């Protein structure tokens, strides 16, 4: 994410100079961290978004204070991400209004910051994976893309959590049917190493502009190739869809049995979640599930997130659902 932000800023400046070399004033002023060499530009992200803990990405992270406290931040804008009603099917009208509200806020913020610190890049997760498993529709992301293009802002889709297969496809942004692909896509987790890929022409313009000691640990690519081979040979993306559906049906059944304890089951593939009734219950349920051998975590203040391996089968999912049922029963009695 850190390098994708840098590449976006480099591309933005390259474009604004029409491809010419930086001025000599820029070359000297950047050594004093001053404009024009260190330009007054910003990166916009969404409230509830998580983009990492390194210095630049941390300024775009808007989940929990524990990640940010005591660390100086860039003065970057944030804007609301839709808070949709679940199930998505059946709440389309209200959800569209909520998405339009957020789109209006996004464009207003971009306008306001034009005089303060123009927005050069926009960072967004396909599903807010630590901020509460918040979803948005393809329509929302299509509009975000249009707004980014209209204002010459580079769009970075953060697929660190959603990429690599657990949503049932390699890249979740492919489900949006964008007219033009995002400028940058970041990945890690299921992809073994951390990195980004970019649209043609968005690479660094000179050697060492995007560089570090290990350069993403290239040997991980050899491992990733083997992982990819297993995903392909064993049809793991199909398995993800089947197991994900099984988990979803199981969660819906438990919602009916324990309506006071859980609601809003949602997700794609095996990237699943549900809400507990209050933050205390979230903590207790995670502890109880872990004590029964289920490795699970929270998302936001109410949500339980499910992020299994791609090899999970329906038999494994049944073990999880049975354990969850026992925990909910113990908590409600």
Ligand X SMILES: Cc1ncc(COP(=O)(O)O)c(C=O)c1O
Residue numbers at the binding site for ligand X (CB under 6 A): 1, 50-54, 125, 129-130, 158, 160-161
> Which residue is listed with tokens 């299921």?
190
Residue number with CB closer to ligand X (176 or 258) = 176
Residues 6+ apart with CB under 8 A from 294: 320, 323, 324
Q: For this structure, is 68 an active site residue?
A: no
3-state secondary structure of 196: strand
Q: How far is the CB of 186 from ligand X (least distance, A)?
A: 7
CB-wise, 161 or 243, nearer to ligand X?
161
Work out the angle at residue 70's Cα, subtended by the Cα atoms of residues 68 and 74, and round it to the nearest 5 degrees.
60
Annotation says 189 is catalytic: yes
Q: Which is nearer to ligand X, 158 or 250 (CB)?
A: 158
The two three-digit tokens of residue 72, written as one number:
């100086």
Write down the catalytic residue from 158, 258, 276, 288. 158
Q: Residue 288, CB half-sphere, CA atoms under 13 Å: how many?
A: 19
**Cβ pair 312, 270 in contact under 8 A:** yes
Strand, helix or coil at 54?
coil
Identify the H or E element spanning 68: helix 65-68
* Shortest Å, Cβ 266 to ligand X: 17
Set 46, 50, 81, 320: catalytic member:
50
Annotated catalytic, 50? yes
CB of 56 to ligand X, least distance (A): 10
Compute the least distance from the CB of residue 28 to ligand X, in Å. 32
Min dist CB 125 to ligand X, Å, is 5
Residue (98 or 125) nearer to ligand X, CB: 125
Are the beta carbons of 31 and 82 closer than 8 angstroms? no
Q: Are strands 119-124 and 154-158 parallel, antiparallel or unpaired?
A: parallel
Query: Which pairs with CB-CB distance under 8 Å and at least 24 residues apart come from 249-254?
Result: 250/317, 250/318, 250/321, 251/321, 254/321, 254/324, 254/325, 254/328
The strand pairing partners of 292, in sequence order, are: none
User: Looking at beta carbons only, is 51 or 190 nearer to ligand X?
Assistant: 51
Distance (Å, rounded) from C-alpha 181 to C-alpha 200? 11
Burial class of residue 18, CB neighbours in 10 A (0-12, 13-18, 19+): exposed
Of residues 11 and 45, the one with the C-beta less far from ligand X? 45
Q: Exactly one of 70, 179, 206, 213 is catalytic; which is it?
A: 213
Nearest distance from residue 188's CB to ligand X, in Å? 6
User: Looking at beta carbons only, is 190 or 288 nearer to ligand X?
Assistant: 190
Q: How far apart are CB 161 and ligand X at their closest, in Å?
A: 4
Report CA Rg, the chain.
Answer: 21
Catalytic residue, from 83, 85, 189, 292: name it: 189
Q: Which residues are catalytic?
A: 50, 158, 189, 213
């Amino acid at each position: 994410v850190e390098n994708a932000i840098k590449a976006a800023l480099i591309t933005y400046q390259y474009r604004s100079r029409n491809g010419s070399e930086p001025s000599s004033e820029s070359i000297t002023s950047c050594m004093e961290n001053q404009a024009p060499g260190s330009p007054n530009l910003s990166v916009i992200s969404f409230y509830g978004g998580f983009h990492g803990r390194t210095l630049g990405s941390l300024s775009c992270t808007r989940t929990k204070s524990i990640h940010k406290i005591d660390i100086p931040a860039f003065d970057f804008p944030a804007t609301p991400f839709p808070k949709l009603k679940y199930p998505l099917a059946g709440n389309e009208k209200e959800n569209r209004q909520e998405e339009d509200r957020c789109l209006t806020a996004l464009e207003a913020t971009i306008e306001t910051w034009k005089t303060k610190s123009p927005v050069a890049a926009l960072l967004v997760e396909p599903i807010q994976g630590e901020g509460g498993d918040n979803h948005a529709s393809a329509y929302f992301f299509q509009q975000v893309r249009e707004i980014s293009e209209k204002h010459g802002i580079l769009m970075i889709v953060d697929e660190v959590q959603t990429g690599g297969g657990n949503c049932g496809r390699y890249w979740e942004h492919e489900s949006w049917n964008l007219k033009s692909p995002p400028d940058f896509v970041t990945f890690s987790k299921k992809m073994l190493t951390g990195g980004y890929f970019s649209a043609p022409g968005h690479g660094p313009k000179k050697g060492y502009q995007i560089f570090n000691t290990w350069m993403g640990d290239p040997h991980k690519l050899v491992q990733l190739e083997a992982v990819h081979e297993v995903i392909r040979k064993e049809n793991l993306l199909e398995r993800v869809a089947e197991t994900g559906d099984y988990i979803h049906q199981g969660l819906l059944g438990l919602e009916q049995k324990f309506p006071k304890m859980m609601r809003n089951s949602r997700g794609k593939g095996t990237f699943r979640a549900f809400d507990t009734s209050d933050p205390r219950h979230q903590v207790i349920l995670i502890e109880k599930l872990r004590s029964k051998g289920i490795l699970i975590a929270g998302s936001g203040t109410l949500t339980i997130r499910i992020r299994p391996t791609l090899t999970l089968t329906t038999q494994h999912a049944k073990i999880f659902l049975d354990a969850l049922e026992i925990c909910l029963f113990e908590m409600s009695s």
